[in-house]
Amino acid sequence: MSKLIGIDLGTTNSCVSFIENGRAVVIPNTEGGRTTPSVVAFTKSGDRLVGMAAKRQAVTNVSRTFSSVKREMGTDHRYQVDGKSYTPQEISAMILQKLKSDAESYIGESVTDAVITVPAYFSDAQRQATRDAGVIAGLNVRRIINEPTSAALAYGFDKGQPCKIMVYDLGGGTFDVSILEINPETIEVLATAGNNHLGGDDFDQCIVGYMLDLFRKEHNRDLSSDPMAMQRLTEAAEKAKIELSASMETTVNLPFLAQGPAGPMHLEASITRARFNELTAHLVNATKGPVQQALQDAGLKPQELSRVLLVGGSTRIPAVQEAVRSLTGKEPARDINPDECVAMGACLQGGVLTGAINSLVLIDVTPLSLGIETLGDVFAKIIDRNTPLPCQHSQVFTTAANFQTTVEINVLQGEREVASANKSLGKFRLTGIRRALRGIPQIEVTFSIDTNGIVHVTAKDLGTNHAQDITISGSGNMSREDIDRAIRDAERYAAEDKQRKNQAQLKDKAESLLNQARRVRKKLKDADRSGLDAAVSELESAVSSGSDSRIRDAVDRLESILNAAGSYTSDPDNQQDDGAYDA
């Protein structure tokens, strides 16, 4: 049976886990890291790098390295490289492919199914895009679950004690806060709130802005349009930020940041924690509103919370922890790893789905209200935010004009009374409405949200029973054909990867055989050397021709000659190379 993995597809780092002996276990990547940078790069020689290898070369390959892709999920942003244009889903799929293949190497079995997490506050389009990325990567996405819920699952699994907790999740690019009720057999989300565009990247940008100002004052030069300098500044800013979580002061040292008329220009600056707190106070403050809103929606006072869990790398910032303390009056829990708990919760949820874990039910909620636009730019809410999933609600509407036979349904998500101030998820038309005076036709609009948080809308003319429906796919999403094409591309790439690996192995084998031939030749009498010499030069010329079939034939020939010479060893690498081949 193939395995299911839980994936935390993060803005900055991703993490993957699976269930082993009934417990969630984090899977290290092939480089040995427990999390993998969510970075993809295309090298000039046509290779694709994912993870740490991509992150390491970012400074020298700025325009062909893509990070923080999660921020663009569900938008129509495109990444251009070598005349090809990639959607955020396709780039994310490359990260997922690496996680999948690393998991397969670790587990030693194929992995087909996954539960992938998203920020609770992700919109429908962003969820669809995440699911599409999984499909492109060749994964059967069994469930999309919310990150804070997943963290609570990792925390609450096995705890058994009924309690209400808050999960404060500040990652690289998103902020979520959720209030959950944990019972021995159920975990129920009571409320969730957040901001899809607030995270560690913004803290880095504050430091970048500060350093740009310093550089401008010192050298009278604006570096903001120099991509390589900006990449170095961004990396240095993140490093400084992380250091400031542990120390009160840090220095940024960037030699040769730019070239001026009088020679190279350097940047050396020291930043204190107090200065960093000042620069980023507005970001920390921006998390307060959602915390208060989630508490209010859950009908709870801070003192009614048993625990506050901190999730996401940015919760290591001392000012963030201080804000949580002052908002809730609680010391945040430390018995959970903020980088790993989301992926662990995801595989536990997978375990529930596959039956590997029973007696645990997860009840999630929809993060934003849903409804349609009605006359006068008014938002008619059909499903309120924080409604438990799955859910289905209907409401009956009518026509606005006499003899109107068509209505356009504009599906909206948001909390504003004014329709146009909310986000439109998609539009569709219901035609063939029976001709009647305005106010007579009865049009029933039904919203349903599945357990992945994905929305489906139906409009039905109750007079004729004629219905129209859509599964929402926002403008940033991909059509079925686009997804199929991307799957083919991803499979082709996987096949190319395999071919490249086979080629490398073949070349390696050829090298080893040539080395072995050199050793064997020394032991042969002159008269016996000619066959070996011919096979060696044939293999050498095959290697320089680059033709796989020629190399394979020449390898076979040399192998059989070495065998006949009685010296062939099936593990030629174990022998020492003792010198060059001398003809």
Catalytic center residues: 8, 70, 147, 169
Do 199 and 314 touch, CB atoms closer than 8 A? yes
User: Given the complex with ligand AMP, which of 172 and 367 has the nearer CB atom?
Assistant: 172
In this structure, are residues 438 and 402 in contact, taking their beta carbons and an 8 Å threshold? yes
Query: Considering beta carbons, is residue 10 or 453 the nearer one to ligand AMP?
Result: 10
- Report how far apart the first and last C-alpha atoms of the chain are (Å, whole number): 55
Instruction: Give the residue, chosen from 74, 200, 290, 453, that forms a contact with ligand AMP under the rule CB under 6 A.
Output: 200
What does the angle CA 357 – CA 361 – CA 366 come to, to the nearest 5 degrees?
135
User: Which of positions 288-317 make contact with ligand AMP (CB under 6 A)?
Assistant: 312-314, 316-317
The answer to whether 172 contacts ligand AMP (rule: CB under 6 A) is yes
Q: Please answer whether residues 164 and 306 qualify as being in contact, where contact means their C-beta atoms are separated by less than 8 angstroms.
A: yes
State which of residues 90, 176, 181, 238 lies at the interface with ligand AMP (CB under 6 A): 238
Q: How many residues bind ligand AMP (CB under 6 A)?
A: 18
Stretch that binds ligand AMP, among 237-245, 249-257, 511-519, 542-550 (CB under 6 A): 237-245
Q: Is 37 in the site for ligand AMP (CB under 6 A)?
A: no
Among 3, 6, 9, 11, binds ligand AMP (CB under 6 A): 11
Q: How far apart are CA 429 and CA 66, in angstroms?
A: 38
What distance in Å separates the CA atoms of residue 324 and residue 463, rounded to the nearest whole number? 54
Query: Site residues for ligand AMP, window 327-366 (CB under 6 A)?
Result: 339
Q: Is residue 6 involved in binding ligand AMP (CB under 6 A)?
A: no
Residue 130, classed as helix, strand or coil, is helix
In the complex with ligand AMP, the residue whose CB is nearer, 102 or 201, is 201
In this structure, which amino acid lies at residue 454?
I
Neighbouring-strand partners of residue 119: none
CA 458 – CA 430 distance, rounded (Å): 9
Measured from the CB atom, the residue of 74 and 441 that comes closer to ligand AMP is 74
Return the residue of 6, 7, 9, 10 that touches ligand AMP, per CB under 6 A. 10
- Which residues have a Cβ under 8 Å from the Cβ of 108 and sit 6 or more positions away? none
- Residue 60's contacts (CB-CB under 8 Å, 6 or more residues apart) are 228
Closest residue to ligand AMP, based on beta-carbon distance:
200
Instruction: Verify binding: residue 34, ligand AMP, rule CB under 6 A.
Output: no
Q: Does 29 bind ligand AMP (CB under 6 A)?
A: no
287 makes contact with ligand AMP (CB under 6 A): no
* Cβ atoms < 10 Å from Cβ of 478: 21
* Lookup: tokens for 570: 């099936």
Rounded Cα distance between 308 and 324, Å, is: 8
DSSP state of 4: E
Instruction: Return the range that interacts with ligand AMP (CB under 6 A); candidates 4-12, 115-123, 373-381, 417-425.
Output: 4-12
Choose between 238 and 559: whose C-beta lies nearer to ligand AMP: 238
Binding site for ligand AMP (CB under 6 A): 10-13, 171-172, 200-201, 238, 241-242, 245, 312-314, 316-317, 339
